[in-house]
Chain A
């Protein structure tokens, strides 16, 4: 099997193939999709956080001219089943409220009309009588006796609970010289605000009982059987189509699935194609978000600063209904719960809790930003209490390079990495000693200057079995239990009769530039330029190869899809060499594929253009070597054999490749106002082989700004009465170019032994680290314990006063 002689396009800053059409307004997004007789939906949503629905009267709405029909809770209860979810409590989550509303913004009814304007006019006329109920919004408070109960059939607000124990935590805490406690940590609820929100078109063909749904969903396609089951449709009667361009998701559009069902039901009941394009208020109110988290961490340290063990008590707020893929918020980082540190003893007391807030799901970083906020605050508190420099403390605890591949106590298999080198690089780039010197001078002058250091493991490619660690092991042992595992992706590479190359991706990218990176990979293997490769990025569940893991989420492309395309392209390459070898009477191994030709190594004139070789396979298949199939295409499914289900000790390799991030951040705090200014931001990433450095830098910038947003600005704020307070961008503050610091970015490259090109995922990147880094920097500046985000000016101002009061 011939391999490319050179790295070709891997590692090159190839300009994105997507950009010309995007920059000239020629992309095809959901709102560009239209059908004959298309009608439009408006959704009536609950203004109450918790209430019984006494009555719904749509009669006045239906009388308005241009209104085609209305979908009500009774219709939904009759026509659909509650969504399946990976927890054992009997939660009933439908696309509309049924019987009760449990969060402000929950859909209650759908109006379908000739235009969105008319549909909204009619929605205002629907009369709903509510009987308000008491409200709870804090995930820890919601577990206390007497807290308002959201789901009577469950009997408690705990949607999922596991006590996971690894190693010998009692011994670690006994042997420790010092127990460090974080106290109550609060991580906020925030989102991703992509430029394009949710968009759905549903059309039901009654004659064939086929529901076709166009949307900007992007996987994991486990949501396809989920929606089919909920709509009582056989899977082959539900067709998902996704247009080529998706205006951003960051994981949020995984959770579009209830709206696919909702608009599907509207189309099925009313009998016309229905389009719904989410507006910004709806997006902030009721699309999806990360969980807010209350946690308590304790660390068992030796006096030299070695971390022996950690206890974590976690309450994750999943809002009014736990929904797939939750409780992944708790378990997605299962394999990397210990981060980059070598401690072997861990206890995780994990709760997913129902409260009267909007619903959650994947949000760039998914579980890691919450985890690392806790773990990195613990490290910094340990450093302070033990009198050890925070960078030095991390050095002492990083998993050594020689240990790679390293199996964590929780079952994660860290494939490769050089953590100490990356940390040193970050410290050197930041000129750490100079920053500490600057801090000394600032303190002498009464200024508040602080430095935050964080190290984290960046997981990519989810093992579809990880969320089952949330299920009790006794249940997992039962014979009727369906285990889950695996991470797979299928690549299709075709060369057509004229010799043009097409790669068909099923990932449904949402801005990551997959067309470009795929073209780079395929062009490298076939000796072409990326512009020679056409990448098909739209998706149709009827015609694409896909399975439950398919899609773009968890930074999986660079790890799994890149590997699949390299392998598929190599198969095409091998076939081309076999064809040309047969034609020229030479061994395939003696051929070189480069510059659009296939020729004998060392004798370049003895060869044929690739286009001609392809033509041979199509036009004259009977002249091919005996036994060779006509045509020229390859399909390759790449998967990870390490993606096993959790074992009986709850160990699971939750992701299949693991990168590393080391960051050093410096801030100055205005003591009079509490405003935080980022003075320096250094970030060093190791994601193995880099395919396109320009795209990688974009991801790092985006991830960092995202994390800065969560740390300083963004918050899906609720009052104690469960009212949602940030319905517009006036109050949900997204940092813009004017808030962005300049990043200093560098890399370490530790290729993965598990992927074809040695590449790993990186898309989530600094979204996981920035909140912890900024919290540590502000804590360092103020000399107080920072236990809550976001670092709003008033909050920081109060900490400054608190710190000065004790001096």
Chain B
């Protein structure tokens, strides 16, 4: 599935860029993230507990950042697998100055497989968008707190 959207942060671009790429911040803001450790330059391993209400799963995965053009754009690839199945995705993010702060535009191609792909398909896209929303909101809080 394709997910795309924008999120606006009331903070300057350099700050937003720094927050998005800071593994400590990522570890705190990725929904359900238990552990984020660097395993190489721009590469991280994470254990993430995701879910909505009763439906929860633990995924073990890798996040890789690439094609960094600070402070404007970068690409991210992720793969995670767990009991309920796996997630694989490629995302591209762009940062632009807007009055009052920074707009982040993202476009992600996400593949979901295993159990979660075969049950309750109608909620998948919405839940994924919810997770993204949660992620961006938390980053905003982080940035706000650091200000």
Residues of A bordering B, CB below 8 Å: 47-49, 104, 124, 132, 281, 285, 719, 721, 723-728, 730-731
Contacts and interface: CB of A to CB of B under 8 A. Distances in A.
B111 A725 contact: no
A97 B81 CA distance: 19
Interface string B94-110: 00000000000000000
Given A47-B113, A48-B113, A104-B113, A724 B118 contact: yes
A124 B83 contact: yes
Contacts of B121: 725, 731
Contacts of A49: 113
Given A132-B88, A725-B121, A727-B119, A47 B114 contact: yes
Most buried by A among B81, B88, B117: B117
Interface of B: 81, 83, 85-86, 88, 111-115, 117-121
A727 B114 CA distance: 10
Nearest to A128: B81
Contacts of B86: 47-48
B55 to A, nearest CB: 14
A285 B117 CA distance: 12
A47 B85 contact: yes
Nearest to A124: B83
8 contacts: A47-B81, A47-B115, A48-B113, A104-B114, A285-B118, A721-B113, A728-B118, A730-B120
B117 A723 contact: yes
A726 B117 CA distance: 9
Main secondary structure of the interface of A (DSSP, over half): loop
B111 A721 contact: yes
Nearest to A45: B114
A48 B87 CA distance: 11
Given A124-B83, A731-B121, A723 B88 contact: no
A728 B120 CA distance: 9
A583 B111 CA distance: 83
B13 to A, nearest CB: 35
Contacts of B119: 727-728, 730-731
Nearest to B120: A730
The 4 A-B residue pairs with the shortest CB-CB distance in the complex, in nearest-first order: A47-B114, A727-B118, A723-B117, A47-B113
B88 A724 contact: no
A49 B85 CA distance: 12
A724 B117 CA distance: 7
A725 B117 contact: yes
Contacts of A725: 117-118, 121
A588 to B, nearest CB: 66
Contacts of A721: 111, 113
Contacts of A285: 118
A317 to B, nearest CB: 19
Nearest to A120: B83
A721 to B, nearest CB: 6
A705 B120 CA distance: 26
Most buried by B among A48, A281, A726, A728: A48
A48 B121 CA distance: 17
Contacts of A132: 88
A108 B7 CA distance: 42
B106 to A, nearest CB: 21
A48 to B, nearest CB: 6
Nearest to B60: A127
Nearest to A125: B83
Nearest to B111: A721
B22 to A, nearest CB: 29
Given A47-B86, A124-B83, A726 B113 contact: no
A743 B85 CA distance: 43
Contacts of B114: 47, 104, 723
A725 B83 CA distance: 17
A49 B114 CA distance: 9
Nearest to B58: A124
